[in-house]
């Protein structure tokens, strides 16, 4: 488990260095879908950093503020099918190695 706090682009760049060091290439980010909330502002830089980099498989899963049990089950299934680990902050960031 990795914990990174902050909500600016530098955190996403720092996490990219951590991901590269550990060989993590599959990254799933789960956050609120409300662009006016703090969670979204913390998540957006990860999309900017990982979404355009061919080294990584990046998926950003966005949930409403009151997800149903089915929506949560779907998100958990997507995380499980794409990665093997996760990070909780104000959002969930999941990652795995290709090896």
| DSSP string computed for 3-71 | -----SHHHHHHHHHHHHHHTEEEEEEEEES-TTSHHHHHHHHHHHHHTT-TT-EEEEEEE-SS--HHH
* Structural domain contains residue 77: yes
* Structural domain contains residue 19: yes
What is the pLDDT at residue 39?
73
Which parts of the chain register pLDDT below 50? Answer: 1, 86-91
CA 93/CA 78 separation, integer angstroms: 12
pTM given for the model: 0.68
* Structural domain contains residue 63: yes
* Structural domain contains residue 4: no
* Structural domain contains residue 26: yes
What range defines the domain where residue 39 resides? Answer: 9-97
Domains held by the chain: number: 1
* Structural domain contains residue 37: yes
What is the pLDDT at residue 25?
86
What is the pLDDT at residue 7?
55
Residues 51-76 pLDDT 10s: 888 889 888 888 887 888 888 888 88
């Amino acid at each position: 488990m990795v914990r990174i706090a902050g909500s600016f682009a530098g955190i996403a760049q720092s996490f990219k260095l951590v991901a590269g060091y550990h060989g993590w290439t599959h990254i799933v980010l789960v956050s609120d879908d409300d662009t006016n909330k703090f969670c979204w502002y913390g998540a957006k830089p990860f999309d900017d950093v990982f979404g355009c980099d061919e080294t990584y498989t990046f998926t950003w899963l966005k949930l409403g503020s009151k997800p149903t049990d089915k929506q949560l089950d779907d998100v958990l299934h997507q995380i499980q099918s794409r990665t093997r680990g996760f990070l909780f902050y104000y959002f969930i960031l999941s990652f795995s190695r290709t090896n």
